[in-house]
Amino acid sequence: MTKGRGAGGESAPEFVQLLTPDGERIDKVTGADGVEYTVDFTDDEYRGLYRDLVVVRKLDAEATALQRQGELGIWASLLGQEAAQVGSGRALRQQDMAFPTYREHGVLYCRGIDPIMPLSLFRGVDHGAWDPNQFRFNMYTIVIGAQTLHATGYAMGITKDGKVGNDDGEAVIAYFGDGASAQGDVNEAFIWASVFNAPIVFFCQNNQYAISEPIEKQTRVPLYQRASGFGFPGVRVDGNDVLASYAVTRAALDHARHGQGPTLIEAYTYRMGAHTTTDDPTRYRMAGEVESWQARDPIARVRAFIAKQQIAGDDFFTEVDELARRESLALRERVLAMPDPDPLTIFEHVYPHGSPLIDSQRQGFAEYMDSFEGSSH
Amino acid sequence: MADVISYREAVAEGIAREMRRDSTVVCLGEDIGAAEGVFKTTVGLFKEFGPQRIWDTPISEQAIVGAAMGAAMTGMRPVAEIMFSDFLACCWDYLANEIPKARYMTGGQVTVPLVIRTANGGGLGFGAQHSQAVENWALTVPGLKIAAPSTPADVIGLMASAIRSDDPVVFFEHKALLAGSGARPPDDHVVELGKATVAREGTDITVVGLASTVPVALKAAEQLAGEAISVEVIDLRCLVPLDMRTVLSSVERTSHLLVVEENPYQGGWGGTVVSVVADEGFEMLDAPIKRVAGACVPLPFADALEAEVIPTVDKVTEAVRRLSAY
Ligand SMILES: Cc1ncc(C[n+]2csc(CCOP(=O)(O)OP(=O)(O)O)c2C)c(N)n1
C-alpha cells in the first residue's frame, strides 16, 4: 500500500487503487465504504484516457509558460492532479452538473469546453465565457468553499424538478480542496446534502496543501472519514490513478442519480507545482517530498500499463505527444491573438437592464473616451 | 537602508514592535507563519515569536475572527488576518453583530481589543472578488474603528494605536501600496486613531483621500501645480474616528472640496464626508462638492479595464480643473 505524504513515513490509510504506480492493474478492490470497484475499459478507452492526461498536462504547462511570459495575470496549475480530474471528469454523464474551483482545467477539458476559455479569464479578456448551462460546468469559484453550497442547492433543485431517481437521472459534483474542507460553507453543504438527501458527489482533491499549509493544519482525521459524521458514505481513492478515480466517481454519481444521496470522495493526490504562479513552494516544503510523489506520477503508470499490455506501441505515444504539442501551440497562438476587451464592457451585466446610476456613469465614460478621439492619444 | 522601509515591511515591523512590548499580542490567519503571508506582510514574525504567538489557521474566516473575539475576551490582543478584504464577507456576522456589540450589550463589562488586518483594494488586476476596496462595508457598523494608512510610517504608527486600542479595529492594508516605501519611523512612533494629516498644503482646492487615493491625489496636485492650481491634499488615515475638523478647516481656506475614494460611488465613504461638509460647511463653499469614486460595477480582471473603474490621476486632475473653474 502506498505510503502517506512526506518523508516522515506516516502511512496513509488505504485507498481505492486499480493501477499501481508501476502500471500493474488491480482487478477489483473494495473501498472503505464497502463498495467493490472495478473498471471495464476497451483498449480504445484506455488510449483515450492516456491521451486526455497528456493533453491536459501539456495545455496546463503552456498556460503556466504564458503566465511567466506576462501573457496571463495568474495561473493555478493542475500538475500532478491530472488523473483525479480526468478520471472524475470522464465519469460524468452528459446530464450531470459540475461545480469547479479555479484549478479544474482537466475537468473543464473533459466537459468539452474550449481550453482557451480559462485562459481568456486569466488574461482578463472576459470572466470565463463558457455557458455553464450548455456545458454543465459552472464558472470557476475562487472564494474558497462557496461552490459546495451552490452545488448542494442545485442538487436539491433537480430533485424537486423530478430529474433524479432512475438510471438516467441527473447528478451533481462539487470539487474542492483539502484546505476548503475547513470552511463553514463546506460543512454546511455536507449537512444540507445529507438531510435533504441531495444527489451530489463531494469530490475533494487532497493535494496535501492549501497554499503553504500542509494537510495536518486542516484536519486530524483522514478527510473521507468526516462523511460518516454527517451521515453519508466517504471513500478515499488514489487520486493519481485515473482508473480508480473514474470507478469511484462513476459509482458515487450513479448512487446520487438514483436518489440515494451524497458521497464524499477524497482523491489522495499531490500538487506538484506551486499553488499559483504567485507562489514559491520551496519556502515551505522539501524537495524530497516532491520527489517521492514524482514516483507516483499519474501519467507514467498509464503509459507503463498500456505498453505492458501491448494496448498500443511507441507510435501511439509519439502521436499523442505530437497531438499535445500541436494543441498547446494552437492554444498559445490563439491566446496571443485575443483582442483587448472594449472598455465600455465594464458596465455590462451588472444588472440586466442597467440602472440609473450605472447608465449615467457609462454615458460620462463614453464621452470621456470620445474626447480622446483624434487627439494626440 | 536603515531609514527607508517598504509599506509591506512596515506591516510586519508594526506588529513586531507591539509583540515585543506586549506579550498578550498574538497573530492568527492563513499562511501567516512559515510562509510569512501571501503578501509577505508577516515576514520574520514566525521566526521571532514562534508558533505560540503566530498561529497558522485552517481556511475559515469565521473561525479566525470568531476565535479572535473569544481570545480577546481572555485579555489577549489578537491580530487576525483576513487574506483579502473581500473575504470579510465570509465572517460578516462577527464583524457586524458580535464584535462591535460586545461592549455595548454587556454594559461596558466586556471589551474585545482586537485588530482585523486585511489586504484591501485594487490596482493589481486580481478580479472582482479579490480587488474590492471595502472600507465602506466596515463604515456601516457603529462600534468598529477603521484605519487605512497610505505610508509606511503611518502603517507602523496606526498599527501601534490599533493594537493598543480597547476597541476592535479593522485595519486596511492597501495592496497597491505594499511595494512602495518611505521613511522608517522612530522606535516609539504612534499615530493616534482618528487624526487626519495634511499630506500637501495648498490654497485653491481641498482634495480628501484615503490609502491608495492619497498618492493619486498627490500626483494630481503635482501636475496641477504646473497649471497654477494649488491643491491641498488631506490624508484621512482613519474613517472611524473621522477627523472632520481637519477637513472643514481646510475647506474654510480653499472653499472647494473634492473627495477621492476607491470604493464604489454608491455607498462610498465619501458620501459621509461630503454630507458633513454640506451640513456644517455649506457657507464656506464656492462650488459644488465633487466625488471621484469607483464606478458602480464589479472590478474587471483586465488591468487596463480596472484602471477605468477606480480613481486615476487623470480623473482627479480633470475633476479639479472643473471645480477650480467655479
Ligand atoms: C474564503 C477564501 N479565503 C481564502 C482564500 C485564499 N486562498 C485561495 S486558494 C487557498 C488555498 C486553498 O486550498 P485548497 O482548498 O486545499 O485547494 P488547492 O488550492 O490546494 O487546490 C486560499 C487560502 C480564498 N480564495 N477564499
Crossing angle for the helix pair A82-91 and A43-68, to the nearest 10 degrees: 130
B194, B243 contact by CB (below 8 A): yes
User: A336: which 3 cell numbers?
Assistant: 496571443
Contacts of A376 (CB under 8 A, 6+ apart): none
Q: Quick check: CB of A179 below 6 Å from ligand 1?
A: yes
Interface test with A, best of B47, B60, B85 (most A CBs within 10 A): B60
pLDDT at A12: 52
- % pLDDT > 70, chain B: 99
Residue B121 in any domain: the answer is yes
Beta-carbon count within 10 A of B243 CB:
18
Same domain, B166 and B28: yes
Domain boundary (B134, B152, B183) is at B183
Residue A246 falls in the annotated catalytic set: no
Main-chain dihedrals φ then ψ at residue A346, nearest 5 degrees: -60, -20
pLDDT at A373: 67
Identify the CA nearest to A299 among candidates A115, A92, A62, A46: A46
Contacts of B165 (CB under 8 A, 6+ apart): B113, B115, B145, B193
Same domain, B117 and B169: yes
Main-chain dihedrals φ then ψ at residue A194, nearest 5 degrees: -70, -55
Same domain, B157 and B232: no
Counted domains in chain B: 2
A205, A239 contact by CB (below 8 A): yes
Identify the CA nearest to B37 among candidates B207, B175, B206, B234: B175
CA angle B32, B84, B43 (to 5 degrees): 25
Sheet holding B205-209, edge to edge: B197-200, B231-235, B205-209, B257-264, B290-294
Task: Report pTM.
Answer: 0.94
Same domain, B89 and B42: yes
The length of chain B in residues reads 326
For range A32-51, the mean pLDDT:
95
In this predicted structure, the answer to whether residue A375 has a pLDDT above a threshold of 80 is no
Identify the CA nearest to A31 among candidates A252, A253, A254: A252
Contacts of B284 (CB under 8 A, 6+ apart): B248, B251, B252, B255
Q: Does B4 touch chain A (CB under 8 A)?
A: no
pLDDT at B1: 52
Identify the CA nearest to B247 among candidates B219, B215, B205, B216: B205
Domain boundary (B119, B150, B183) is at B183
Identify the CA nearest to A320 among candidates A55, A41, A23, A46: A55
Question: pLDDT per residue over A305-328, tens digit each?
Answer: 999 999 999 999 999 999 999 999
User: B257: which 3 cell numbers?
Assistant: 472640496
Which chain B residues contact residue A284 at CB under 8 A?
34-35
Question: pLDDT per residue over B138-177, tens digit each?
Answer: 999 999 999 999 999 999 999 999 999 999 999 999 999 9
Main-chain dihedrals φ then ψ at residue B257, nearest 5 degrees: -135, 130
CATH number at residue B89: 3.40.50.970
Say which DSSP state A24 is in.
Answer: P
Q: Strand B77-84 to strand B145-147: parallel, antiparallel, or no bridges (unpaired)? A: unpaired
Burial classification of residue A268, based on how many CB atoms lie within 10 Å of its CB (0-12 exposed, 13-18 middle, 19 or more buried):
buried
Identify the CA nearest to B293 among candidates A347, A361, A351: A361
Maximum Cα–Cα distance for chain A, whole Å? 73
| Amino acid identity at A155 | A
Q: Strand A29-30 to strand A36-37: parallel, antiparallel, or no bridges (unpaired)? A: antiparallel
| Cα gap A194→A178, rounded to integer Å | 20
User: B269: which 3 cell numbers?
Assistant: 465613504
> Could you give the C-alpha distances from B185 to B10, B161, B233, B268, in angstroms and in order?
9, 14, 21, 31
B235, B273 contact by CB (below 8 A): no
pLDDT at A377: 40
pLDDT at A7: 33
Which chain B residues contact residue A361 at CB under 8 A?
265, 295-297
Of A73, A180, A284, the CB nearest to B34: A284
Q: What is the mean pLDDT of chain B?
A: 97
User: A29: which 3 cell numbers?
Assistant: 478492490
Which ipTM did the prediction report?
A: 0.92
In the CATH hierarchy, which top-level class contains the domain A29-336?
alpha beta
Rg of chain B over all Cα atoms, to the nearest angstrom: 19
pLDDT at A2: 38
Contact yes or no for A283 and B301 at CB 8 A: no
Same domain, B16 and B139: yes
| Cα gap B312→B317, rounded to integer Å | 9
Which chain B residues contact residue A124 at CB under 8 A?
125, 127, 300-305
Same domain, B29 and B136: yes
Domain boundary (B131, B160, B183) is at B183
Enclosing domain of residue B92: 4-183
For range A136-160, the mean pLDDT:
97
Q: Which residue has the cell 450531470?
A: A96
A345, B297 contact by CB (below 8 A): no
pLDDT at A376: 42
| Cα gap B202→B214, rounded to integer Å | 15
For range A31-51, the mean pLDDT:
95
Question: pLDDT per residue over B98-115, tens digit each?
Answer: 999 999 999 999 999 999
Say which DSSP state B284 is in.
Answer: G
In this predicted structure, the answer to whether residue B2 has a pLDDT above a threshold of 80 is no
| Amino acid identity at B116 | I
Question: pLDDT per residue over B126-142, tens digit each?
Answer: 999 999 999 999 999 99
**A28-A32-A34-A40 Cα dihedral, nearest 10 degrees:** -30
Question: pLDDT per residue over B10-44, tens digit each?
Answer: 999 999 999 999 999 999 999 999 999 999 999 99
Q: Which residues of B123-144 are buried (b: 16+ CB within 10 A; e: fewer)?
A: bbbbbbbbbbbbbbbbbebebb
| Amino acid identity at A92 | L
Main-chain dihedrals φ then ψ at residue A267, nearest 5 degrees: -90, 110
In this predicted structure, the answer to whether residue A36 has a pLDDT above a threshold of 50 is yes
CATH number at residue B245: 3.40.50.920
Which chain A residues contact residue B296 at CB under 8 A?
350, 355, 357-358, 361
Question: pLDDT per residue over B223-251, tens digit each?
Answer: 999 999 999 999 999 999 999 999 999 99
Contact yes or no for B34 and A346 at CB 8 A: no
pLDDT at A129: 81
Interface test with B, best of A121, A123, A127, A276 (most B CBs within 10 A): A127
A316, A47 contact by CB (below 8 A): yes
Helix (H, G, I), strand (E, B) or coil at A222: coil
In this predicted structure, the answer to whether residue A5 has a pLDDT above a threshold of 50 is no
A83, A16 contact by CB (below 8 A): no
Q: Which atom of ligand 1 is nearest to the CA of A146?
A: 1
| β partners of residue B120 | B174
Smallest CA–CA distance from B84 into chain A, residue: A143
Residue B166 in any domain: the answer is yes
Residue B191 in any domain: the answer is no
| Cα gap B254→B243, rounded to integer Å | 18
Identify the CA nearest to B125 among candidates B290, B281, B269, B310: B310
A206, A49 contact by CB (below 8 A): no
Contacts of B190 (CB under 8 A, 6+ apart): B157, B160, B161, B164
| Cα gap B244→B262, rounded to integer Å | 19
Domain boundaries along the sequence of chain A: 29-336, 344-377
Residue B267 in any domain: the answer is yes
Residue A275 falls in the annotated catalytic set: yes
Q: Quick check: CB of B59 below 6 Å from ligand 1?
A: yes
| β partners of residue A210 | A213
User: A52: which 3 cell numbers?
Assistant: 486526455
Q: Does B81 touch chain A (CB under 8 A)?
A: no
| Cα gap B141→B118, rounded to integer Å | 17
Q: Quick check: CB of B30 below 6 Å from ligand 1?
A: yes
Q: Which of the four pLDDT bands, split at 50, 70 and 90, describes residue A10?
A: very low
User: A254: which 3 cell numbers?
Assistant: 450513479
